[in-house]
Structure 1
Amino acid sequence: MSQKKKIIIMFLAALLLYLHAGCWSRREINELAFVMALGIDSLDGGKLYKVSVQTANTKTFAKEGSGSTEEKSFAVYTATGATPAEAVRNLSQQLPRRLLLSHCRLVLISENLAKSGVEPVLDFLQRNREVRETVWVLVAKGQADVLLEQEFDMEDIPADTLSRLIKLGEETSRGYAATKRDFLYKLTTARIDPVAASVEVLPDVAREGKPGVQLGGLAVFRADKLAGWLDAKETRGFLWVTGEAAAGSIVLDSPLVPGKVTFEFLRVQSRVTPQVRDGRVVILLDVETQGDLGDLAEPWVSRGQDNSGGGMEELIKEVERGVQETIEDEILAALHRVQREYKADIFGFGDAIHRRLPNEWRKIEERWDEIYPSLEIHIKVSANLRSSGQTCHYRHR
């Protein structure tokens, strides 16, 4: 089923819901503006909010099959206000349709707004009953409205492009996207700092005259303010620690075989255990993964050895060791950036101490911001390839 047909079905389903509610609440499709994405920027030093809505153009769907049309499949409308809610209400001055936010897939927050604080935005999203709990919250590198205006070559509606990239990133353990529910929970819990997916337009990577888009890395918050960014390596380090890594691959160099070796991990488990050692709280981090060889030169011949069972066993041990070292390196990269530089507890170590060692947490809660940057973390990584496995121990201070 094509993407356009799916959207048409979605529109018809929404219409049936309105009809089912009774004649008094009946809404025709041409009376509604289906919002697919919401963008929020700050203006005048944070005194004003600019809200942009990306709406689906129902006219283009009606014309499908009746010949090609150059009319865009989406439209973007913007308005300003002293609050996000007022800006949304002001959209009615230029958009003669009722905004339907229940189909909104993602909310884009501009970089400048994120740096000044997103609490007013999240408060608006929480109070608006139409915005679903599962809507994704993203931070745009630059202006949110500019990104919503961009046409990408992958899908007719930019919100669909971003949605597909989000899902693909999570399926391959290369990205993480926070929902409104997840972001709000962490924002209102003093023991966990929130994160959000970062997105940016790539004007130099264009196809068919349309710019590329990159959804990778994370925006790190300390409380409700943007503290900085994580790159792809650091992002996967975050996924290892939090247990959000699902499936993916690690490419290794091996002295035993020509070319590269790919380890495809299929299962990941992560455990964060706080303990008291020598009168101080420390964190024990255990990460376990299992997987298979994704590719290997065939016929396989070990360098300097024949293709025997002993040679394969040596290769298995070599791959497991390489996977463990790679995971450790990615975790350490994330810890160094977040713990030392941003001083943001996106891993939930404080929350783990609060739950597992409540008496100790009461002793250090008031000084947690001072303790966290130098918190001692012991890392144990285990990798298992087929039937063999090894465990290496590391220490991060």
Structure 2
Amino acid sequence: MKKHHFILMLLFIPPLLSGCWGRVELQDLGIINATAIDRLDDGKTRVSVQIFIPRTITSGQGGEDPSAGSTFVREGTGDNLAHAISNLQENVPRRLFWGQCKIYIFGEELALNGIRNEIDFMARHPGPRGNAFLFVSKGEAMEMLTLVPPLERYSGEALRKSAEEESGLKTTLRDVDMALMGTSESVSMPYIKKLESTEQTKKPNETIPVIDGAAIFKKDKMVGTLNKEETRGLLWLNDAVKRSTISVQIEGQDGEISMTPTAGKIEFSPKIDGNWIMNLNFKISGDIVQNETHLNLMNKDVLKIVEKEYETALKERVTETVEKLQQEFDADVADFGRRFHQKYPKEWSKVKDNWDEKFPEVEVNIHVNAKIKGPGYIGPPAALPRNEVKE
């Protein structure tokens, strides 16, 4: 009986051990933090990766060397992205590990010529994750990887935090893949550049990449960019505003009043009545964070005037963005087409093949309802004599 038990144990042990045979030790991996993809003048593709240095030891003592960088950059070139990555691996002694790479940057030249092939590779490859962030850089993408942030460990980390914490404008690989296959075949990505600084720095390239607007794609090609103000309008359209300040000037008053929205909602209401109409209804509320005027914001009548100014300001901001998307880019990144399709499937079937022609003709009506929840801890302007306060 014991002999049979021993034989059974021998039969079960090999399958349990086989799972470790293909394991790659951590010290044999090159962990990629960020990737840049550029199109060169000869039409070839260059891929550059920011690789994490696990440990930098000072000579003669333990601990990390604060003067040494935490990453280095390697590149590979090929006829396409797959070939470039294959050549890249030859330039790195460790096996490249893509599982931790959350940042992918397309160079401007590549974006203008089309990114469909690169998206196809990234979506098929088991390494890049669907929730990885995508960006377009002004100029060459590789330069973004060589920047040395004064606060973060590497530029890829600075970009990730900017997308997640600051602007609210973020686009993932999954977003792009789905959008380019969707009804509008349009998508936006954060447009980044190197922050120019006049301060004297200790290291060359000691600065950060910053989001400077949005790159607009029609099908797989970049057709233009939105500036910061227009991008905030796009964020309102996408219901993705995280941190924003709206400043308005009241007629007859010097200075501005600034409000930070604390809650916001947008409702899309498509309508076909001869013309194709998209009604946008915004509801926002927020707090006053600065008052440069002499107005007393504890006065309800004054608050109503300020609310109307905010409604006008937001309407103008969104209108400018919509007009540029319709008339200049013909790119439906706000997904009007999908909403018409959902409400009017029969009518949509007649125009879906010509949506590029129909989208610029859509009449857009914007309605804004703004409420100020709190004027701040003080009503009258701070440090202003009482006799100068205007009720």
TM-score (norm 2): 0.84
Which runs of 5 or more residues in structure 1 are unaligned?
Answer: 1-19, 389-397
2:100 alignment partner, one of 79, 100, 103: 103
Distance (whole Å) between structure 2 residues aligned to residue 217 and residue 126 of structure 1: 25
Secondary structure of 1:58's partner? coil
Give the conservation status (yes or no) of the 8 Å contact 2:249–2:255: yes
Distance (whole Å) between structure 2 residues aligned to residue 21 and residue 231 of structure 1: 55
Which runs of 5 or more residues in structure 2 are unaligned?
Answer: 1-16, 376-391
Give the conservation status (yes or no) of the 8 Å contact 1:235–1:334: yes
Shift in Å, 1:347: 0.9
Distance (whole Å) between structure 2 residues aligned to residue 255 and residue 379 of structure 1: 23
Q: Deviations along 1:261-296, whole A, 9 cap, x unmatched?
A: 22121111111111012x221111111111122234
Secondary structure of 1:156's partner? coil
Secondary structure of 1:138's partner? strand
Specify the alignment match of 1:383 in structure 2: 370
Shift in Å, 1:260: 3.0
Specify the alignment match of 1:196 in structure 2: 189
Specify the alignment match of 2:388 in structure 1: none
Written as runs of structure 1 = structure 2, the 5 A alignment for 1:1-397 is: 22-46=19-43, 48-60=44-56, 66=63, 68-170=65-167, 175-206=168-199, 208-209=201-202, 210-255=206-251, 259-277=255-273, 279-296=274-291, 302=295, 312-386=299-373
Task: Point out the more displaced range, 259-268 or 116-125.
Answer: 259-268
TM-score (norm 1): 0.83
Distance (whole Å) between structure 2 residues aligned to residue 140 and residue 29 of structure 1: 32
Secondary structure of 1:371's partner? helix
Counterpart of 1:197 in structure 2: which amino acid?
Answer: P
Give the conservation status (yes or no) of the 8 Å contact 1:108–1:137: yes
Task: Point out the more displaced range, 102-111 or 288-297.
Answer: 288-297
Shift in Å, 1:314: 1.8
Distance (whole Å) between structure 1 residues aligned to residue 91 and residue 297 of structure 2: 74
Distance 1:367 1:73, change over 3 A: same
Aligned-residue Cα RMSD (Å) equals 2.5
Shift in Å, 1:355: 1.2
Distance (whole Å) between structure 2 residues aligned to residue 195 and residue 81 of structure 1: 27
Task: Point out the more displaced range, 194-203 or 115-124.
Answer: 194-203
Which of the two has greater strand per residue?
1
Secondary structure of 2:350's partner? helix
Q: Report percent identity of matched pairs.
A: 27
Counterpart of 1:141 in structure 2: which amino acid?
Answer: K
Counterpart of 1:290 in structure 2: which amino acid?
Answer: S
Shift in Å, 1:321: 1.0
